Structure 1
């Protein structure tokens, strides 16, 4: 095989890769505008939840305790550095384990981490963060949902956690926590450029019968439906 042929094949491969990237960006910008409407189950909307983004990862935020669920029994306060027990809300997100542990902000993103996450090469994790208060803003939106919708949301979220033989969530021992109020747990599923942390959050909203994008890899795709 001559050098000319090798170069030709190389440029073709690079062209295909570039085409896929461009197509992904276009779809990632356009498809989120296709909305999935909220479903009205006829019940009173009395349970507050929040969607929150730190600019990289999105979370579903719920009360620590209410009449339907006590998250502190499944995600113990002792799993956080602070070990405080006076938190009122818990944010839960799903994503690539390496991405979560190594990339708290975009400035921390490594090429190797991005490649592994994009091409199904690493495990996933749940990131759980306790909060004392929640404040609405550009990065945080509150939604009121019904009793049955809250049950569906809890079921969706719990089903993504991996469990040990006793049925407990599996804590990931790490120093890469973002603060004194968070912890990581093993999760089911594999992250990819087609199914990101934001795709999971978007699907959680669908499971709860709320407005969502048809598909989105970004937080923008979620939040533009909650302006």
Structure 2
């Protein structure tokens, strides 16, 4: 019994160390510097939001004209980002079974959990919202220059699985309400390299530095705060 407890304690300690190192070790390991030795960047002109729950993160894009045009294909599926009152287009990636079948914790079932802990197909979850309070503790605003914003938009767009004509494939009947849809996505899902790891990868496409492994929302946002004082990205003044 004592040996078993020691093994469990050792495994728990290794997990804690791995999570800590996942935040502390930056990814990428180095920044692209300008000739004067400072991180190369243009003036920040666009703000995106990282939205967090207990286990999941989304990326919220302001519903400006270029964003509306990029996601205009959703209109044919009944969700038009050009609707009046839309403030943000919100994108998230996750495991097909768990994401679709678990809109709330009350809907939690063993099957989707098992798939999330093993291997599952992936989906994109797209939703529309009105204004978002950027001072909310579960909202992390990030200001991007124009090229960085475009790279982020391209990376999220590339996460959709598309047919031979390049059209995104909506999942019929899969939605939480009137303001969201699910689409087939690229990649396979596992909880160890899940939605928050995807969010981190998308943000790195924009030139942001994250922790090396951030499987939980708080680990991702902690790594963003830790590593980006010298990165080519600025947090909105006064929001944190």
Q: Give TM class, smaller chain.
A: 0.7 to 0.9
Unaligned runs of 5+ in 1: 1-11
User: For the Cα contact (< 8 Å) 1:65–1:72, is it kept in 2?
Assistant: no
Kindly tell me: are residues 54 and 181 of structure 1, through their superposed partners in 2, closer, same or farther at Cα, counting changes over 3 Å?
Answer: farther
Q: TM-score, normalised by structure 2?
A: 0.76
List structure 1 runs of 4+ shifted beyond 6 angstroms. 15-22
Query: Within 5 Å, which residues of 2 pair with 1:1-227?
Result: 23-24=14-15, 26-36=17-27, 40-67=39-66, 70-76=69-75, 78-80=77-79, 85-86=83-84, 87-120=86-119, 122-136=120-134, 137-175=136-174, 177-224=175-222, 225-226=224-225
Unaligned runs of 5+ in 2: 33-38, 226-239
Q: TM-score, normalised by structure 1?
A: 0.80
2:187 alignment partner, SS class:
coil
| Aligned alpha-carbon RMSD (Å) | 3.0
Kindly tell me: are residues 106 and 25 of structure 1, through their superposed partners in 2, closer, same or farther at Cα, counting changes over 3 Å?
Answer: farther
Measured after TM superposition, the shift of residue 50 of structure 1 is 0.6
1:148 alignment partner, SS class:
helix
Kindly tell me: are residues 221 and 24 of structure 1, through their superposed partners in 2, closer, same or farther at Cα, counting changes over 3 Å?
Answer: same
Kindly tell me: are residues 98 and 16 of structure 1, through their superposed partners in 2, closer, same or farther at Cα, counting changes over 3 Å?
Answer: farther
The number of equivalent residue pairs is: 212
Kindly tell me: are residues 24 and 97 of structure 1, through their superposed partners in 2, closer, same or farther at Cα, counting changes over 3 Å?
Answer: farther
